[in-house]
Structure 1
Amino acid sequence: MIQVCDPPRQRQIRRLSAEEFFTLVRCGGAGFYRPCSEVLRMLTAGEAWGTAGAALLVLPLTADTAAAAALRSWLGRRQLEGGCLLTPPVNTGEELPARLVEIAAARADRLRRKGTVWAVIECTETAAALLPLYFRQGFGLRALRPLESLAPCFLLCTGCAPVRTAPVWVPLEDRVQLALLLAKGYAALDSRPYGGSLALALYPLKETE
């Protein structure tokens, strides 16, 4: 007898309620989403998008949250007006859907008016799987630094304009070399597998960037 199996259900990506996002944070949230009062401010100012097992927030850069304030402080007056911020993904162990990053980036692009979209990825063991998803949506890695805590984060943004030259490939684990090149005005715009992790392609940016 032939057994007929139902096709796998696609994970529907939609805007989540505050309760749904809090449930994900309790199950799989990292230090970025502490304390609960800070998460509540994020949800009040922004939008949560995700599935039953993974989500992130789209925030205006002007939001009254610690993360947005820390990014504003680092940026100074650059690219603040109308900008948006994608917070680090929260998941409960499942792989982050590439479609979620695509939808959240598109939503931020619609909300940003003329500003820049920034994204934060925490420097954990999951970063090697996450960075390529953001590169495919036009983000470039611009900095490796703490945001509102001592934990380092990858800071990415859209609109990077590289000089046409051969890239400098740097292993993701070589944080010292990576930080030095980023501080000199380079941006990582692509990646390739390297020793079980990633090597990042860094390009110098045009002076107008």
Structure 2
Amino acid sequence: MRAWKDRRVLRGRIHGRLLLVLIAVAVLVSAVAVWQFGSLRDDHDPDLAEAEIPEGPRFTGAAESPTPSPSPSPPETPESSAAPTSAAPTTEAEAPPTTEAAAAGPQCTATLTLDDEWSSSISVTVEVANTGTDPIDGWEVLLDLANLDVTATWGLDHVEGDRYGDILFNAALDPGSSTAPSFQADIEGDWELPATVPCTPAE
């Protein structure tokens, strides 16, 4: 009797579970049917079509400005009948042509060049050149050198004081030619050799 009751209870439980499964399946089928129905309605319902929105009037960015009317031009005045006055002609005074007189007569220059320098003396070359237009027959140079005492010369003749002149073989110089005598001097203090010294051609 008890076994029969247990079977009955077991069958009731199985039937209850089957009922729950059937209910769940029915709910799922109903949901699928509703979803399919909604999809078909959206595909065939003309009310869901997008309505075209009419375009409104278009406006440009800037408003057209009215064109200003041209201003009236002033009336033309008649030309003056007076004849134009001409300026008085100016005359420029012509300067008389100037001519530079060429340096005439004998001329010479004397240039000093340091050849050697020792502790107490120096050796210097004197280049005498005829820079004039006439030949010269003799010349004289002035060796006024501060703190330098001339002790020996070659191609120079001691005239007087600081004056030294030519000797026979280098006296005559044609225009543009030169000669190069030399001298030796003792150093007596701070000295500086000038670039040139006075040169006087013989008269």
Q: Rg: which structure is higher?
A: 2
Q: TM-score, normalised by structure 1?
A: 0.21
Scaled by the length of structure 2, what TM-score is found? 0.22
Higher normalized contact order (CA 8 Å, seq sep 6+, divided by chain length)? 2
